Amino acid sequence: EVQLVQSGAEVKKPGESLKISCKGSGYSFTSYWIGWVRQMPGKGLEWMGIIYPGDSDTRYSPSFQGQVTISADKSISTAYLQWSSLKASDTAMYYCARQDDYVWGSYRAFDYWGQGTLVTVSS
């Protein structure tokens, strides 16, 4: 069974750093892209970036480039999203999601999702 299990909720102060995780299981972690999606309170979904754990090739949304860092450790089947200096506006739910892939290619849809990590930034 494919699963993406994310790390638990975090409460941080502005200016602090943070790294949240997403552990994949039940499939070949190095063969599928993992994306990160932000959902601010009461709002819609925003694509942040995506990484291919096989070679750590990473793409960022222009809106999030330079604001966050996406990485992966394929030895433990885990992807990460990190901030060096949090702001109150980073308060949101963050989801990781696997991009689909078939023998014939990918439809660039996210077929499996983690349960989400709630990040609260408040002084």
In the chain, which ranges are E strands? 3-6, 10-12, 18-25, 34-39, 45-52, 57-60, 69-73, 78-83, 92-99, 110-113, 117-121
Q: Tell which one of 11, 45, 76, 88 touches other proteins (CB under 8 A).
A: 45
Task: Indicate which single residue of 5, 40, 107, 122 sits in contact with other proteins (rule: CB under 8 A).
Answer: 107
CB of 45 to other proteins, least distance (A): 4
Chain residues in the site for other proteins (CB under 8 A): 35, 37, 44-47, 50, 59, 61-62, 95, 97, 100, 107-111, 113-116
